[in-house]
Each structure stands twice: as structure tokens, then as C-alpha cells.
Structure 1
Amino acid sequence: MIGYCFRNKRLLERALTHSSYNREKNTKHQDNERLEFLGDAFFDAIVSAELFQKMEKSSEGQLTKTRASIVCEESLAAAARKIEMGKYILMGHGEEVTGGRERTSTLADAMEAVIGALYLDGGYHRTRDFVLRTFAETIEAAVQGKLFSDYKSEIQEVLQKRGRSRIISYEIDREEGPDHDKTFFVHLSCDGKVLGEGSGKSKKEAEQNAAKAALDTLKRSEK
């Protein structure tokens, strides 16, 4: 699946164990949340170092924006779908029947967890090789500015140009649905004024949608 043979098979199993599996099966399996935390850190560091090398003339702001378009749920989930990671994830029945194997947030979390497990089992260099191989096309597209938009970075730039960037915040208004299929509702505010609202199956997705809504509102106000 990932071009690497784990010495500790339990690490890989843990990386592919969704929290719903333990809740429903009442097993002693460890879920992948801690490995996700570790994988997120290494994914960020590896991509940052690669962009630093590839974009020698870019400013810190450009590097940050480019990295944000790579280190996000969409690109992680896309990479997971490409290697059919979803069919290997251990999850509860409720999660599965509601589309868990194709859910963007679930796939992104599993990919980060696998990166974390790979680091523990094979070390930094093998982890770096996997990340750069798996995300090669994504990184190249981002460097060329052809990747999907990072609305959070874009709204921040727009507000900075307007001199309204003192306090930009995202707040969760409410959550709906069961634990295995939650929808988050978020609003974006700047200097105490609500500029946009959004929803999504993860907090990150909801924040991106709120930022997009804010951008749309600002663009309409300019006409």
C-alpha cells in the first residue's frame, strides 16, 4: 500500500484504527489519534523543508501560503484515496455505513497517522522518502500555484490589505449529528464583526468554508 514493510505490524494496525472501532467493538486496540498528532508534525516539517529548497526566491508569506495548500485535509485525503487506504481502516459499523471509508477527515487523519507510524518504525529518512514520493504531484502543483485555494490564508491577506487584521478568529457555533458523523458550524469574525459562516465534516473544513463565505461577501461589497 505505501511501499514500505513495517517491522512492527501493530504500529500500522494502530495507524489504521479509527476511534469508532474501539467504541463499538469494545476492544483494547489503540486508535490512531496519537499517531495522527505525530504524523501531522513530521508532514508539516518535511513539506516545509522541501518548499524551502524549491522556492528559494519566495517570501515567508508565500512559503506559508503554499505549505497551507499542501498540509490540509484535502491533499491528505486525496493521497489516501489514491492508494485506497480507506478499505484498510478499522472502523465501527456506524461509521462505515455513513460513508466513513470515503470521508475526507477520516482519510486525512489516517494518512497522518500512517506517517507517524512510519517515523516510529523506519525513522525520519524513510518517512521523508514516503512523503515526498506520495505527495510529489501535489507539492509540484502547489509550487506552481495550481493547487486548490487556501481560503483562510486568502482572507487573511485581504483583511491585512484593508487594515482590518487586528483580531481574526474562528469560533464553533454548534455541532450536529452523532460522534461518527458530526457536522461543525463555524463563523469567522474580524474585530468583533462576523464576516462569514461555514459548515463541514471537520473543524478545518468548516473554517475553510467560513473563510470562503467571507471572501465572497467582501467581493460582492466591492461591486
Structure 2
Amino acid sequence: MTLTVSTDIQEQLQTRCDYHFKDLNLLTQALTHPSFAAEQTPSPPDNQRLEFLGDSVLQLILSDLLFASLPDDKEGPLTRLRATLANESATASYAKKLGLQEAILLGKGEDQTGGRERQSILGDLFEAFLAAVYLDGGMDAARTLCLRLLPPVADSKRLLLAKDNPKGTLQELSQDRFKCKPKYSVLSCDGPVHDPNFVVSVSINNVEMGQGSGSSHRSAERQAASQALLKILQEDSAQD
């Protein structure tokens, strides 16, 4: 017998997202990772096809938003900013904001090895969920969902300028604003020796500001620094 997402979890998720599905089968499919589907008999539809569609939906929403918000920017900067807002790190953060990791159906092995926190899984999960919203409620519903999650365009543009050197930018900002340097800590390291996965956090004044993962300390720290910069910009925007 194929398992499904519990009714309580479905309801909590829809309330958090401020969207209630007319077709709950779409929601269940969006939350079904291939590793889970492979363990079921018969195998239910997984979220890979929805992920494919969701990527295009997100690209269109971002293109429309940036085109309208930045009338003086040329194609190159617009393309780079769209890529920043749609990359794996960004889409994984959107999934976490919605709490999708709590509802995803994972295979036992994937779940036991930290799949609920893996960026690649979370990024794909958000795209699949966005596609489900689009199919169920149309582009307006999908756009409304995205606009609740996206940082302000002006802040995203500022963050893009620091993309080439996020650690240096964060250190300068931290020393100027908080009078201290950021501190990086390795939270975990798993995977085979030839392909490790490091998870690193960055803290300022003993407050965690971001996390990142990667195949090296350096790449994980860069990602953590980018997340910290984004968080600071979002907090600045909320205070304006």
C-alpha cells in the first residue's frame, strides 16, 4: 500500500503557504521524491516532471519581475540576477521558508542520510511544489507564492555585487557594523572520501547567520557567507 503525506501535515503546509490545493494529488506528487517512489509497490508518480515545469515557471516569474523592476538594466545584469535568485541555494532557501522539508516523502536511506536538509533535494522540491501550485491555481497563484519568498530586488542586486567575494564582503560588513569578524564552524562532513559534503555555519557575535554546503571548506564557507549577507539585507529591508 502506497503511503501519502498525512492530512495534518498537508493542512499545516497549505496554511503556511497561504494556498490550498483543489487537487491534493498534485501536492502529494510534488512532495514525492524519486527515492520514496522507488520503494513503493506500485510506484507512485514522483516529482521530477513537476520539477522540470517548475524551473520554467520560476524563470518566467523572475524575468517578468526583474524586467519591470529594473528598467535601466541591460540583459547581462538581468540574466545574472535571475540566475542568483533561481540557483540551488536560493530555491533550497525558499523550500525551507515554506517548511517543505517537513512534508517531503523520502526513501528510508535518503532520509537517514540527511536528505531533508540537502540543498539539491530542497531546491528540486521547491520547483516541483511551485509547478503544482501553477497547475492547480494558475500563474497568478504561482506568482503570489514567489513574491512572498523573494527578497527585495534592490537587495538582491546588492548581493549580486558581492557574489564574487562573499566572504570578504561579509567580513567588511561585520567589522563595520558589528565590530567583529565572522566565525565559521564545520557542522558536519559526510559522503565518500573522494566526494565529501561539508556543512558549515557562519556566526556573528555568536548568532548563526547562515549555513552552506559544498565539496570543500572553501565552497561551503562561501555559500554560508552568501546566506548571511542575504539575511542581513532582508533584516535591513524589514526595518525600512
**2:19 matches 1:4:** yes
Cα offset, 1:80, TM superposition? 1.1
Query: After the TM superposition, which of the residue ranges 120-129 and 75-84 deviates more from structure 2?
Result: 75-84
SS in structure 2 opposite 1:141?
A: helix
The one-letter code matched in structure 2 to 1:50 is L
Counterpart CA distance in 1 for 2:135 and 2:161 is: 30
What's the offset of the Cα at 1:146? Answer: 5.3
Q: Is the 8 A contact 1:36 1:110 kept in 2?
A: yes
Q: CA separation of 1:148/1:120 partners in 2, compared to 1, >3 Å: closer, same or farther?
A: farther
Query: Map of 1:40-189 to 2, 5 A cutoff?
Result: 40-135=55-150, 137=151, 139-145=153-159, 149=163
- Provide, for residues 63-111 of structure 1, a one-character-per-residue CA deviation record: whole Å limited to 9, x for no partner: 0111111010101111111222101000101000110001001011010
Is contact 1:69-1:147 (8 Å) kept?
no
Matched, 1:39 2:77: no
C-alpha separation between the residues in 2 aligned to 1:36 and 1:148? Answer: 29
Cα pair distance change 1:88/1:67, threshold 3 Å: same
Q: Percent identity?
A: 40
Alignment coverage as a number of residue pairs: 164
User: Shift of the alpha carbon at 1:183?
Assistant: 5.0
TM-aligned CA deviation for residue 148 of structure 1: 6.7
Partner of 2:31: 16
Question: So what's the TM-score if we normalise by structure 2?
Answer: 0.61
Residues in 1 aligned to 2:69 and 2:137: alpha-carbon distance in whole angstroms: 25
In structure 2, do the counterparts of structure 1 residues 62 and 82 end up closer, same or farther at CA, with 3 Å as the change threshold?
same
Report the equivalent of 2:45. Answer: 30
Q: Which runs of 4+ in 1 moved over 2 A?
A: 24-28, 138-141, 143-151
Change in CA separation of 1:148 and 1:183 when aligned onto 2, cut-off 3 Å: farther
CA–CA separation in structure 1 for the residues paired with 2:161 and 2:149: 16
Secondary structure of the structure 2 residue equivalent to 1:25: coil
Q: Summarize deviations over 1:101-132 as a string: whole Å, max 9, x none.
A: 01001011010001101111000111111111
RMSD of the TM alignment (CA)?
A: 3.0
Q: Distance in 2 between matches of 1:54 and 1:25?
A: 46
Which structure is richer in relative contact order (CA contacts within 8 A, separation 6 or more)? 1
Structure 2 portions without partners, runs of 5+: 1-15, 166-190, 197-212, 223-240
Amino acid at match of 1:105: S
Q: How far apart in 1 are the matches of 2:27 and 2:142?
A: 13
Alignment of 1:176-215 (within 5 A): none
Normalising by structure 1, what TM-score? Answer: 0.65
